[in-house]
Amino acid sequence: MRNKWVKEPWELALMRNSGRRLAEVSAALRESVRVGISTAELDELAEKMISDLGGVPSFKGYRVPGIPNPFPATICASPNEQVVHGIPTDTPLKSGDIISIDMGMIYGGYHSDCAFTLAVGDVTAEVAHLLDVTERSLYVGIAQATPDNRTGDIGHAIQSLVEPEGFGIVREYVGHGIGRRLHERPSVPNFGKPGRLDILKPGMCIAIEPMTTLGSYDTEALEDGWTVVTIDRRLSAHFEHTVAVTPNGPEILTVLDGQPRI
């Protein structure tokens, strides 16, 4: 019996269409981050672009058991010590901040999901290094998304890059399968032992998303039920791509035409 998390070729085509459109939104938001802009303004831009591209935000209205209110925005905007699921606000970004933007889009019935963290103005060398290492760890993880590897190989590759640099890997929040639903099987942790957990098969689509910290990897949720912060309030970074496992290796779906797909 076919694994229901494996996409048919026509489904992969729809996933590519969704991912390419979300990459357009991601590129526009990257260009828009600056001192003085608010994350609410970035959220407004993202929602308009997704709509103009024929899509629907994946996150807005998303519900999670145990949290009474659905997520209220198009993007998750998580500055500084916020790890994930930050709610956009009218507070202007200032020089020295870092901001993680996570976004999802439904197009043609299929989700795509990506994230990035940017420095706002001037940051310390340590913070710049955190961002660089976290982004590189995403790509070493993606490189392991090949047929017959396991999700543990992805997590091990990420952990093996990040921890020797002195940074923490968040344990409580992990990557995931993606397709008709935003969150499908398998879970994709950013740590662990190689050769363990779920086997990757051609046609599977996964969101790989390392989340790192300058200090402890322990986290806690704030009173709003959504915003997750580092327990020691040290800075956190987050990068993500939606990736298809193919017979020829991993294909990054949330990139623009002409960008590297691995």
**Residues 84 and 209: beta-carbon distance below 8 Å:** no
The domain limits of the chain are: 9-252
What residue type is assigned to position 57 of the chain?
A: P
H-state helical runs in 80-197: 125-142, 151-162
Q: Each residue of 188-246: pLDDT tens digit?
A: 999 999 999 999 999 999 999 999 999 999 999 999 999 999 999 999 999 999 999 99
**Residues 53 and 107: beta-carbon distance below 8 Å:** yes
**pLDDT confidence of residue 3:** 75
Closest CA to 244 of 117, 147, 129: 147
Q: Quick one: pLDDT band at residue 258, thresholds 50, 70, 90?
A: low
Query: Is the backbone peptide bond immediately before 186 cis, with ω within 30 degrees of 0?
Result: yes
What's the topology of domain 9-252? Answer: Creatine Amidinohydrolase (3.90.230)
Cα 95 to Cα 131: distance, rounded to the nearest angstrom: 16
Q: How many CA atoms lie within 13 A of 135 on its CB side?
A: 12
pTM of the model: 0.96
Cα 141 to Cα 157: distance, rounded to the nearest angstrom: 6
Q: Which two tokens stand for residue 27?
A: 């590129």
State how far the alpha carbon of 8 is from the alpha carbons of 12, 13, 109, 130, 241, in Å: 6, 9, 14, 38, 20
Q: Each residue of 58-114: pLDDT tens digit?
A: 999 999 998 999 999 999 999 999 999 999 999 999 999 999 999 999 999 999 999
